[in-house]
């Protein structure tokens, strides 16, 4: 069972809330302070990606963020969009050299942002997995970070 779970409608304003919640839970879970900034950014990117997917499909269904503290602090962000394009899979960016140092002229701003978001996710999170949900109706971005301090809650 997740320790803390947050569901939110695909509104950009809620992404900030999700970041704040995730960092607060990570801190309590005993994640080292120097990782919190990375977590803030990674969670923001995972949630922004989900929001963009939901909005591109015109769905109002809720995005789910589930956090678990155990041996590691784990966050799963789940969207409910089937057939998300392959270009939205951060795993596709794993191990890839950084994008060419040129302004991608052909891409719209949103596409640039989406690509940069995936590059950031892949670059920031050592333990990153993206899986299609069992029912095929969505994807789950799973990330985890080491816990190095004693948790401050029960």
Partner 1 sequence: MELSLSTRTVDDHTVLEVGGEVDVYTAPRLRERLVELVEAGARSVIVDLSRVEFLDSTGLGVLVGALKRLRAAGGTLALVCGHERLLKIFRITALDRVFALYDSVEAATAATGADAGQSA
Given a contact cutoff of 8 angstroms between Cβ atoms, the answer to whether 139 and 132 are in contact is yes
**Residue 122-151 contact track with partner 1, rule CB under 8 A, x = bound:** -xx---------------------------
Total residues contacting partner 1 by CB under 8 A comes to 32
Q: Which of 37, 60, 127, 153 contacts partner 1 by CB under 8 A?
A: 37
Burial zone of 18 (CB within 10 Å; 0-12 exposed, 13-18 middle, 19+ buried)? buried
Interface with partner 1, residue 94, by CB under 8 A: no
Q: Which of 132, 151, 154 is nearest to 141 (CA)?
A: 132
- Name the segment binding partner 1 (CB under 8 A); options: 75-83, 102-110, 132-140, 141-149: 102-110
Which strand ranges, in their side-by-side order, compose the sheet holding 127-132?
4-8, 63-69, 72-78, 139-146, 127-132
- Least Å distance, CB 43 to partner 1, is 10
13 belongs to the binding site for partner 1 (CB under 8 A): yes
Dist CA 9 CA 138 (whole Å)? 15
| Length of the chain in terms of residues written | 154
Cβ distance to partner 1 smaller for residue 68 or 121: 121
User: What is the three-class DSSP state of 9?
Assistant: coil
Which parts of this chain interact with partner 1 (CB under 8 A)? Answer: 12-13, 15-16, 19, 37, 40-41, 44-45, 48, 51-52, 98-105, 109-110, 112-114, 116-117, 119-120, 123-124
């Amino acid at each position: 069972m997740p320790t803390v779970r947050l569901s939110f409608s695909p509104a950009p304003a809620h992404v900030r809330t999700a970041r704040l919640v995730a960092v607060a839970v990570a801190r309590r879970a005993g994640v080292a302070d120097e990782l919190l900034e990375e977590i803030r950014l990674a969670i923001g990117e995972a949630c922004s990606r989900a929001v963009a997917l939901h909005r591109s499909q015109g769905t109002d269904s809720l995005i789910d963020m589930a956090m678990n503290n155990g041996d590691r602090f784990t966050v799963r962000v789940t969207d409910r969009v089937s057939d998300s394009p392959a270009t939205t899979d951060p795993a596709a960016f794993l191990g890839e050299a950084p994008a060419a140092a040129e302004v991608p002229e052909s891409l719209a701003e949103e596409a640039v942002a989406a690509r940069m978001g995936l590059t950031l996710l892949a670059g920031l999170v050592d333990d990153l997995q993206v899986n299609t949900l069992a029912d095929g109706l969505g994807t789950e971005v799973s990330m985890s970070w080491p816990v190095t301090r004693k948790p401050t809650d029960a």
